[in-house]
Structure 1
Amino acid sequence: MFKPAPVDQNQLADALKPFGQSRMLPVGAYLDEAVLAWEREHLFAGWVALGRSEEIGKPRQMKAFGLGSSGVLVTRGDDLELRGFENACRHRGHELLACDATAEARAIVCPYHAWAYRLTGELIGAPGHKEAESFDPADYPLHPVDVREWHGWLFADRGSSKTFEEHVQGLDAILANYEGQELVTVETHEYDVAANWKVVVENYQECYHCSSIHPELCVVSPPESGDNIDPQGDWMGGDMDLRDFAATMSLDGHSDGIVMAKLDEREQRTVMYLALLPNMLLSLHPDYVMTHLLTPLAPGKTRIRCSWAFPRQVAERAGFDPAYAVDFWDLTNRQDWAACESVQRGMSTPGYVPGPMAPAEDGVYDFVRYVARAYAGE
């Protein structure tokens, strides 16, 4: 159980009504610092996606990832096992590695006073303490953080009440044929969007808006197509069809890649859109996988890291250019971000009250109900 969020309880009750009667989340959910602080303490304190495991694919590699208001250091030892630690030296708390920085070494060495740790977290060196009385290095290991490698992505948890298996319940079967652990990230874009992180997720959960702002997407995928999946674990989503002439999502439907080898006939003709809460949006195409990782910076600002991963034989092919996929989604992303920013500005107007959801917004309802239940303390 969570402590309830600091939101308008009447508006929250409306958000919890059955689909067809419910409304969007309380307006404070998108505007108030206190709500974001609550979300960081509760929604972002459990399993959070960090990035791709290929970023630290070799022994003796390490990387610091942002996680909440601080960070987590992930290492891969000589045994190839991943381990996570709070990114703070046990001496004075200096970051062991700058956020987003990577290193390859036999030990973790704090850049401030050179305290050194094994990649498994044990303190092995503290300059000036060799003769110090009552100083035992065994008393100062790095504080561990649970990490998990899953289908090629990294996750960390600082204290969820759920196991990782409960968090992703039902997703393994959906992702299995895409062989995410074998994919190679070819390009990454970063966007700062002037909108609340939940506005971005809600936008991702529906194509009700596609006919209005995504003419290029509608050329290759019918906006009314596809079905949503009954939510399980901490995720929700659904699929959309490709038009008959289209091989994938690109400006003209062509692909410069290859269809992933294990996809069945339906997977070869659809794009799957999954929101793994709180911060990962996963788009599965027949020939590539796109990931959005969301970091809330303020109630009205979200940093989004978007990456495109392809089968290794494509990514490592001489002269391969991912532009057919990247250009399409960069355009579509920017259309979405502009809409999300307009929503954020509109909700800030005096007198705004949460509106109802359209019949085509059942995916939005799944997300809103998930968050509303958390706000209510469930």
Structure 2
Amino acid sequence: MFKQTPAPVPADGLAAALAPFGQSRMLPREAYVDPKVFDWEKQNIFGGWHCVGHAGDLDGVGAQKAVGSGSDGILLVRGEDGRVRAFANVCRHRGHELLACGASAKRRGIICPYHSWSYKLNGELRNAPAFDGISGPDPVEFGLTELALVDWHGYLFVDPSGSDGDFALHIAGLEEVVGPYRTEDLRVVARHSYELDTNWKVIVENYQECYHCSTIHPELSKISPPTSGENIDLPGDWMGGWMGMIDEAETMSLSGRSGGVAIKGLSEHELRTVMYLVGFPNLLVSLHPDYVMTHLMTPLAVDRTHVECAWAFPREALDKPGFDPSYAVDFWDLTNRQDWAACESVQRGLSSPHAQPGPLAPDEDGVYQFVTRVARAYMGSR
């Protein structure tokens, strides 16, 4: 997945991060504040398998959506065969973006807005205006550049490098964890976008522990005791763990009550817990008894990250008269904002030249999972 050129991070700092749990330290300060490290991550970590959205965002044949920009620009397209494909968001004529970043369209072809070159939904060149009557561009040779894409339970993963290996290795051990929630059948009914003044890794590290919960999340702690649950050990690139709820609670909400319906087929354990997963590097998946929440992170700079939070519910919930998803959305928007304030404060602290990597508490083994994953990536291995 990663180039053999190591990241510009002090080797002794990586060794400290990779020491056995209980003796290790956090990543070196440079990992959070040095633009050169960020540039390395964009090319090496985000150049491999990472999530770019949900298949439900591309509704029907011809649906198109542009994500990322510049060297990260990707065009997602649902073809005539119903498949979603990913292409570099680059016209083969003069390089113009086919859609602006974040824009969507729905049409029977892909049309460049600069000189009107058009492509079929499978990426093959359809028409190059003004080339009629002469030897024009070859439809195959000048088709769009397709990128490796996998639709896994509705989540779309792209490997822009084409060299990150078998996707099955990326999600090894996850089928029995995510499968029962049937995320591909859930409907996203609410989204919130946040732009944070913090490094993307700070967000994941915060997500991977509840050591902070009793301090900044009184509402969450009332429903889900901070010391409940445990982390799981997965053989692939994902990590995470579950937390329990108090006996009186049905789900994570301000009251503990659910305004929806339980996802069919879940086990008793799944109905009493929330599973929190990190889809390395940029997808956070929170599996609740009655809904699934995701945080999709897009790193914008070493100290800036865009996060889209989405809430998806079973279709049966949407059919309930007067269904209102705010019981889940309001709870997590409050919790998110509490987390964001903490993450931004961490980033400001790490910007100080006096910041030094600290030790991990006994309850931060989930952070250790993530830190060591990143440290190994910096060194050029999994």
Q: Is the 8 A contact 2:128 2:136 kept in 1?
A: no
2:355 to 349, 352, 356: 352
Contact 1:170–1:233 (Cα < 8 Å) also in 2: yes
Q: Distance in 2 between matches of 1:89 and 1:221?
A: 50
Pair 138,78 (structure 1): closer, same or farther in 2 beyond 3 Å: closer
Provide the residue aligned with 2:63 in structure 1.
61
Partners of 2:220 and 2:140 in 1: CA distance: 57
Partner of 1:213: 216
Does residue 367 (structure 1) correspond to residue 370 (structure 2)? The answer is yes
Aligned to 1:137: 139
Partners of 2:108 and 2:121 within 8 A in 1? yes
Matches within 5 A, 1:145-294: 145-159=147-161, 160-294=163-297
SS in 2 for 1:35: helix
CA contact (8 A) 2:61 2:108 kept: no
Q: Paired residue for 1:95?
A: 97
Give, in angstroms, the shift of residue 162 of structure 1: 2.1
Structure 2 counterpart of 1:302: 305
TM-score (norm 2): 0.96
Distance apart, 1:368 and its partner CA: 0.3
The more displaced of 9-18 and 32-41 is 9-18
Which is worse superposed, 304-313 or 135-144?
135-144
Residue identity matched to 1:130? D
- SS in structure 1 at match of 2:175: helix
Deviation per residue, 1:202-261 (Å, 9 max, x gap):
000000000110000011001000010113211100000010001000001011001111
Q: Equivalent residues in 2 for 1:19-58 (5 A)?
A: 19-58=21-60
Q: Counterparts of 1:126 and 1:69 in 2: how far apart (Å)?
A: 24
Query: Matched residue of 1:377: which SS?
Result: coil
2-side partners of 1:134 and 1:72: how far apart? 26
Structure 2 vs 1, CA of residues 172 and 57 (structure 1 numbering), >3 Å: closer, same or farther?
farther
Q: Structure 1 residue 359: deviation in Å?
A: 0.5
Q: 2:117 is matched with which residue: 115, 118, 124?
A: 115
Unmatched 5+ stretches in structure 1: none
Which of 341-350 and 303-312 deviates more?
A: 341-350
Number of positions where the alignment pairs a residue of Structure 1 with one of Structure 2: 378
Superposed CA offset, 1:11-35 (max 9, x none):
1111111101100001000000000
Structure 1 stretches of 4+ with a deviation exceeding 4 A read none
1:319 aligned residue: 322
Q: What is the rounded CA distance, in whole Å, between the counterparts of 1:295 and 1:350 in structure 2?
A: 26
Q: How many Å apart are 1:148 and its aligned residue?
A: 1.2
C-alpha distance in 2 between matches for 1:318 and 1:78: 35
- Cα distance in 2 between the residues matched to 1:288 and 1:145: 31
CA contact (8 A) 2:231 2:241 kept: yes
In structure 2, list runs of 5 or more residues that go unmatched: none
In the superposition, the TM-score normalised over structure 1's length comes to 0.97
Tell me, yes or no, if the aligned pair for 1:44 and 1:68 is still in contact at 8 Å: no
Asked if structure 2 preserves the Cα contact closer than 8 Å seen for 1:184 and 1:311, the reply is yes
Supply the distance in 1 between the matched residues of 2:278 and 2:330 (Cα, whole angstroms): 22
Tell me, yes or no, if structure 1 residue 78 matches structure 2 residue 116. no
The residue type equivalent to 1:261 in the other structure is K
Q: Tell me the distance in 2 between the aligned counterparts of 1:206 and 1:69.
A: 33
The one-letter amino acid paired with 1:294 is M
Counterpart code for 1:325: A
SS of the residue 1:232 aligns to: coil
Following superposition, the deviation at residue 52 of structure 1 comes to 1.3
Report % sequence identity.
Answer: 56
Deviation, 1:316, is: 4.4
- Cα distance in 1 for partners of 2:268, 2:329 equals 24
Distance between the aligned counterparts of 1:349 and 1:78, measured in 2? Answer: 53
Deviations 1:53-87 (A, max 9, x none): 11113122222122674311121122112221111
AA of the residue aligned to 1:210: C
Alpha carbons of structure 1 residues 158 and 67: separation in structure 2 relative to 1, 3 Å: farther
Could you tell me whether the CA contact under 8 Å between 2:205 and 2:367 is conserved in 1?
yes
Distance 1:325 1:158 in 2: 34
Indicate the SS of the match to 2:140. Answer: helix
1:191/1:305 contact within 8 Å kept: yes
Q: Deviations over 1:133-174 (max 9, x none)?
A: 464333211001111111111111112422111111111110
Any conservation in 1 of the 2:225–2:246 contact (CA below 8 Å)?
A: yes
Alignment match, 2:6: 4
Q: How do residues 326-341 of structure 1 correspond to structure 2 at under 5 angstroms?
A: 326-341=329-344
